[in-house]
């Protein structure tokens, strides 16, 4: 059994190159996989490993970057290792939005998952899904709206059009995208901006399905692809042609071909591309039959 730990912390960080090397070396040593992003404004990561190794890695991250608590954290379990390798990246921002955050300019506007339902049930509240369109299509909260923005850097253009008099309830996967967006809105003069504490993952972990206002599954950026209530691995897979999530219903379409295409990309792929993907899938299938893992194989399921 593997444990998955997602977290972020807004804190001024220095010596990023040195910290990257220290983190990378230790995580590799402990056989921890996942993605870690560090910037001058803080850290954002999702990592996975065996429980004791992961515990040691979390303690080491706190020590290297010199802080005690994360701004937000969530944990779950998986029967398989959901990441291929570990990557520590240095970026200008932990979430690209053209806005640098510090712990000093953050207002506490987090709403606990068990109080979230009451907030979003109010007809006067704008329920804003701040994720990308394809994530929104996999699952979202009842009556939520999505800005239909592919690049998060374009999100401020959408936010500028919102009514300052409205109460806005924002949410995203783990909370960090909302963290930045809410500060942006507050700087623009919005008074009633709230965000789901710990994001969707925290909600699905702590709110029972029969009491939930969530519809569908939640897309995650690892080889689980999606999760359901209780953070159980979901039913989606990834299309090899366009790297978008594919549901069991999508697979029934004649445009779906394993390892090649789905309803989203079938009509946009050339025959040359499809031929190349079919060859790759053939190699993956042969590797599976022989009990080995092929270089092109993307999932550990």
| Cβ atoms 48, 27 nearer than 8 A | no
Residue spans of alpha helices (H) in 112-218: 113-121, 133-138, 155-159, 176-187, 199-206
Residue with tokens 């570990």: 86
Q: Which residues are catalytic?
A: 172
Residues near 49 by Cβ (< 8 Å), separated by ≥ 6? Answer: 2, 3, 30, 31, 32, 33, 57, 81
Angle formed at CA 13 by CA 191 and CA 74, multiple of 5 degrees: 65
| Cβ atoms 196, 144 nearer than 8 A | no
What phi and psi, each to the nearest 5 degrees, are found at residue 297? -70, 125
Residue 261's SS3 state is strand
Strands 2-10 and 33-39: unpaired
Sign of CA dihedral 50, 55, 56, 57: positive
Angle formed at CA 296 by CA 294 and CA 298, multiple of 5 degrees: 100
- Give the Cα separation of 258 and 296 in Å (integer): 14
What phi and psi, each to the nearest 5 degrees, are found at residue 161? -90, -5
- Selection from 154, 206, 163 nearest residue 188 by Cα: 163
């Amino acid at each position: 059994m593997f444990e998955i730990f997602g977290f972020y912390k807004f804190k001024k960080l220095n010596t990023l190159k040195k910290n990257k090397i220290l983190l990378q070396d230790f995580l590799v040593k402990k056989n921890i996989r996942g993605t870690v992003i560090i910037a001058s404004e803080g850290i954002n990561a999702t990592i996975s490993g065996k429980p004791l190794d992961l515990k040691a890695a979390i303690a080491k991250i706190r020590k290297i970057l010199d802080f005690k608590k994360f701004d937000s954290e969530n944990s779950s379990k998986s029967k398989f290792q959901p990441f291929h390798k570990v990557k520590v990246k240095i970026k200008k921002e932990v979430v690209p939005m053209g806005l640098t955050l510090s712990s000093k300019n953050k207002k506490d506007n987090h709403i606990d998952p068990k109080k979230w339902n009451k907030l979003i049930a109010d007809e006067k509240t704008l329920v804003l899904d701040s994720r990308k369109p394809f994530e929104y299509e996999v699952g979202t909260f009842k009556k939520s709206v999505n800005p239909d923005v592919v690049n998060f850097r374009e999100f401020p253009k959408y936010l500028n059009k919102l009514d300052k008099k409205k109460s806005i309830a924002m949410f995203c996967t783990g909370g960090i995208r909302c963290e930045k967006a809410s500060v942006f809105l507050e700087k623009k003069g919005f008074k009633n901006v709230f965000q789901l504490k710990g994001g969707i993952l925290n909600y699905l972990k702590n709110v029972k399905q029969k009491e939930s206002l969530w519809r569908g599954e939640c897309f995650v950026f690892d080889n689980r692809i999606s999760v359901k209530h209780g953070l159980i691995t979901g039913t989606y897979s990834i299309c090899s042609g366009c790297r978008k999530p594919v549901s069991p219903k999508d697979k029934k379409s004649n445009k779906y071909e394993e390892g090649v295409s789905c309803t989203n990309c079938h009509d946009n792929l050339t025959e040359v591309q499809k031929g190349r993907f079919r060859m790759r899938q053939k190699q993956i299938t042969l590797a599976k039959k022989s009990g080995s893992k092929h270089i092109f194989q993307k999932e550990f399921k």
